[in-house]
């Protein structure tokens, strides 16, 4: 009894709780089979890790690529940082630990569409889809590296009647914004629906957006982009020059000397006048650019091309403005009009092309094809965009393979009929058979028929069954 009491006093009492104990005390309390199981799992993980490393090192392509990089670096005399960067790029996400820029190589995947099940019933018609689209644009800008910490703002017009808008909460990074976190506000910036965060909106920045929304009902989405390249071009007196295609497809670019702060009625009128009735991009002096669109897709299309155009111009500026070949007005008009037309399949004939063009113009949106491709990229990466594809990648009804059992025996005459039809189209067929007569055999279940006849040459004839072939007579004969 004394030994038992002494043993109980020496062992820690946990009442089933393991918190606050050291690993040594936990190992004393755990049974031996549990310790063996944990050790076995750790050994399995270590074996799998070593196996992956061994497979990578035994890969001939990996060794050749690594040797090529090291040889190139030795010739160029680059430092170890450049070598590690190239190894990181070659290994992809797994090599991100070699790069010191942890934010650029962040593998954090936050789902864009976080509105699920019953929650979606609380939104008006089309609001959930618009939320997903706008949140996806935030995620794209983050992946492209076109963000400025928590700065920047995007707005999307929710409906025309009530003049409600979706705007990002001020204080969230772009990769944190989801469909449910967007805030719904009215034209004055008053919060109509808070969303799933405790953050508010940047009311001064929203005044700039609301001014454009009020003056241009055709604009549905506005994105304020202020990357270093765009800010640099907005600070130049010459503005954005017509150098490449990207600077043409966005149309005419307006300029406004934006001073910031609360906007008075006079400043609002200047913004409206400088933007104009049809322009979609406006440079804010020393503040970046506002890229607008009649759809979310078009707004991102203008953002993408504006950033590329600014980066191209900055690379050419050291050569001097006198050495730049600018695109002529006639070429600018041709390029812009071509960017506003939907792509037409090349294998169609002229009459079919007209019909297809009319259908595509109704369905096609500026920047829609590029936006859908990026949505497929995000969905494949696990971001769950919630985007409804207008042009799915895979056909909904793939061609059904024909089974041999489904093909009737009469199909053996199909080649003859196809040849006959081709001659008929070329005007070389003289039979004059009409389309319905040429395909009469298709309506027959079989080309064979069983008939009963009497035997011949015997005094007591019996009925026998004979297979007779059906033939179609030509009505013109």
pLDDT-based confidence at 152, cuts 50/70/90? confident
At 403, the pLDDT band (50, 70, 90 cuts) reads low
What is the rounded distance in angstroms from the CA atom of residue 58 to the CA atom of residue 237?
58
> Residue 311 above 90 pLDDT?
yes
**CA-closest candidate to residue 235, choices 224, 227, 245:** 227
pLDDT, tens digit, 9 for 90 and up, residues 96-113: 433 443 344 445 578 999
Task: Name the range with the highest mean pLDDT among 24-33, 87-96, 369-378, 403-412.
Answer: 369-378
Cα 384 to Cα 291: distance, rounded to the nearest angstrom: 25
Position 362 scores a pLDDT of 62
Average pLDDT over residues 343-350: 57
Instruction: Please give the pLDDT value at position 462.
Output: 81
Query: What sign has the CA pseudo-torsion 246, 251, 256, 262?
Result: negative
Domain segments of the chain as ranges: 117-340, 447-476
Helix (H, G, I), strand (E, B) or coil at 464: strand
Longest dimension (CA), the chain: 123
User: Lowest mean pLDDT: which of 41-45, 169-173, 265-269, 415-419?
Assistant: 415-419
Closest-CA residue to 211 (of 290, 294, 298, 305): 290
Q: pLDDT class for 2, splitting at 50, 70, 90?
A: very low
* Alpha helices per DSSP H over 30-79: 32-57, 60-76
- What's the pLDDT score for residue 59? 75
Predicted pLDDT of residue 74 = 66
**Top-confidence range, 23-27, 68-72, 76-80, 269-273:** 269-273
Q: Calculate Rg over the CA atoms of the chain.
A: 36
CB-side neighbour CA atoms (13 Å) of 429? 17
User: How many Cβ atoms sit within 10 Å of the Cβ of residue 279?
Assistant: 15
Q: What tokens were used for 83?
A: 């070598």
| pLDDT score of 222 | 97
pLDDT for the residue 334: 93
Residue 282: pLDDT over 90: yes
Strand pairing of 281-284 and 253-256?
Answer: parallel
Q: Span 396-418, mean pLDDT?
A: 55
- Residue 461 binned pLDDT confidence (cut-offs 50, 70, 90): confident
Q: How confident is the prediction for the chain on average, in pLDDT?
A: 77
Confidence (pLDDT) at 290? 96
**pLDDT (tens digit, 9 = 90+) per residue, 431-451?**
544 444 555 555 555 556 677
Give the range with max mean pLDDT: 37-46, 117-126, 209-218, 318-327: 209-218
pLDDT number for residue 67: 75
Kindly indicate the confidence band of residue 1, based on its pLDDT and cuts at 50, 70 and 90. Answer: very low
Mean pLDDT, rounded, for 317-337: 91
The model's pLDDT over 53-96, given as tens digits with 9 standing for 90+, comes to 777 777 777 777 777 777 776 666 554 445 455 555 544 544 44
Does residue 330 carry a pLDDT above 90?
Answer: yes
Provide the percentage of residues in the chain whose pLDDT is more than 90: 41
Higher-confidence position of 283 and 16: 283
Least confident interval from 87-101, 186-200, 288-302: 87-101
The mean per-residue pLDDT over the stretch 16-20 comes to 50
CATH of domain 117-340: 3.40.225.10
Rounded Cα distance between 193 and 169, Å, is 12
């Amino acid at each position: 009894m004394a030994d038992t009491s002494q043993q109980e006093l020496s062992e820690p009492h946990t009442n089933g709780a393991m918190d606050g104990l050291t690993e040594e005390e936990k190992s004393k309390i755990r049974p031996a089979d549990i310790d063996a199981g944990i050790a076995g799992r750790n050994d399995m993980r270590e074996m799998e890790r070593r196996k992956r490393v061994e497979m990578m090192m035994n890969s001939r392509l990996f060794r050749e690529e690594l040797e090529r990089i090291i040889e190139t670096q030795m010739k160029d005399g680059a430092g170890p940082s450049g070598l590690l960067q190239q190894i990181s790029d070659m290994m992809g996400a797994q090599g991100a630990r070699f790069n010191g820029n942890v934010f650029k190589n962040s593998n954090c995947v936050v789902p864009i569409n976080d509105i699920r099940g019953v929650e979606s019933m609380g939104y008006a018609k089309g609001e959930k889809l618009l939320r997903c689209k706008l949140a996806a644009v935030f995620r794209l800008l983050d992946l492209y590296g076109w963000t400025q910490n928590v700065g920047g703002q995007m707005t999307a017009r929710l409906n025309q009647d009530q003049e409600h808008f979706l705007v990002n909460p001020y204080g969230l990074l772009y990769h944190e914004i989801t469909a449910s976190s967007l805030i719904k506000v009215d034209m004055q910036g008053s919060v109509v629906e808070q969303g799933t965060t405790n953050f508010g909106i940047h009311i001064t920045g929203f005044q700039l957006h609301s001014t454009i929304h009020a003056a241009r009902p055709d604009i549905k989405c506005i994105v304020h982009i202020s990357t270093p390249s765009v800010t640099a071009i907005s600070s130049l007196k010459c503005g954005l020059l017509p150098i490449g295609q990207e600077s043409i497809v966005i149309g005419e670019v307006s300029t406004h000397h934006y001073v910031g702060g609360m906007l008075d009625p006079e400043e609002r009128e200047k913004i409206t006048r400088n933007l104009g009735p049809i322009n979609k991009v406006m440079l804010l002096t020393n503040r970046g650019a506002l890229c607008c669109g009649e759809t979310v897709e078009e707004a991102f299309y203008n953002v993408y091309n504006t950033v590329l155009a600014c980066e191209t111009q900055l690379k050419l500026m050291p050569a001097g403005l006198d050495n730049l070949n600018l695109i002529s007005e006639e070429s600018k008009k041709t390029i812009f009009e071509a960017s506003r037309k939907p792509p037409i399949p090349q294998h169609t004939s002229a009459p079919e092309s007209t019909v297809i063009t009319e259908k595509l113009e109704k369905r096609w949106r500026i920047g829609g094809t590029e936006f859908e491709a990026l949505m497929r990229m995000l969905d494949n990466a696990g971001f769950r965009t919630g985007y409804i594809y207008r042009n799915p990648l895979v056909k909904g009804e793939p061609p059904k393979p024909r089974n041999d059992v489904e093909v009737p025996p009469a199909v053996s005459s199909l080649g003859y009929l196809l040849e006959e039809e081709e001659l008929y189209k070329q005007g070389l067929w003289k039979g004059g058979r009409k389309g319905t007569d040429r395909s009469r055999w298709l309506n027959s279940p079989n080309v064979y028929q069983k008939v009963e006849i009497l035997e011949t040459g015997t005094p007591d004839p019996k009925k026998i069954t004979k297979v007779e072939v059906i033939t179609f007579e030509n009505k013109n004969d």
